[in-house]
Amino acid sequence: MQPVRSTNQTAPRSLADYTRADLLRLRLEGRTVRAVTEELLGALRQEACPAAVRPAALKALNLELLTGRVGASAVTASVHSPGETHPRFVLGRAPEPLAWRASTLTPIEFVVVLIESAPGSTEGRQVLAALARLNQDRACLAELPKE
């Protein structure tokens, strides 16, 4: 899958350039790390991203989701998938906040998985930074549909 690209190549890229409607799961059914992981990986499987769903990548993703960056209302994890030409992400939204990792942490509403070809690529870091800014923008997040 190629990200959607603007016809104006000089225009700044947005997060929309790194995902597709098929990769936005706005009503997650899962209530555990494992169930949410499987649900988001199902979206990737449908997008023909086989390297991202190899056993080694699944193990890495599960670890990332358990130890990943937790923001105000989201957990973000990244998984490396050699052969990807551009970073892309899948986003899931829980209909109700989920307890994540420990009951002492703030419940999360969003789970984001970034797929990139190599760890720490410049483009991947830019996408992660934009996702972090989005996580801080409560008004923008509130505008996302819940289904």
Query: What's the average model confidence in pLDDT over 136-147?
Result: 76
Q: Which CATH class is domain 18-143?
A: alpha beta
Contact 115/87 with Cβ under 8 angstroms?
Answer: yes
What is the rounded distance in angstroms from the CA atom of residue 131 to the CA atom of residue 95? 20
Higher pLDDT among residues 52 and 105, named by residue: 105
**Mean pLDDT of all residues in the chain?**
75
C-alpha span between 13 and 70 (Å, rounded): 24
Angstrom distances, CA of residue 25 to CA of 14, 48, 73, 82, 113: 19, 17, 16, 24, 12
pLDDT digits (tens, 9 = 90+) for 9-44: 545 578 889 988 888 888 899 888 778 878 887 787
- The b/e string for 33-53 (b: 16+ C-beta within 10 A; e otherwise) is beebbebbbebbeebebebbb
3 or 136, greater pLDDT: 136
Is 121's pLDDT higher than 70?
Answer: yes
Which tens digit of pLDDT belongs to each residue from 69-103?
666 678 888 777 777 788 888 889 988 888 776 66
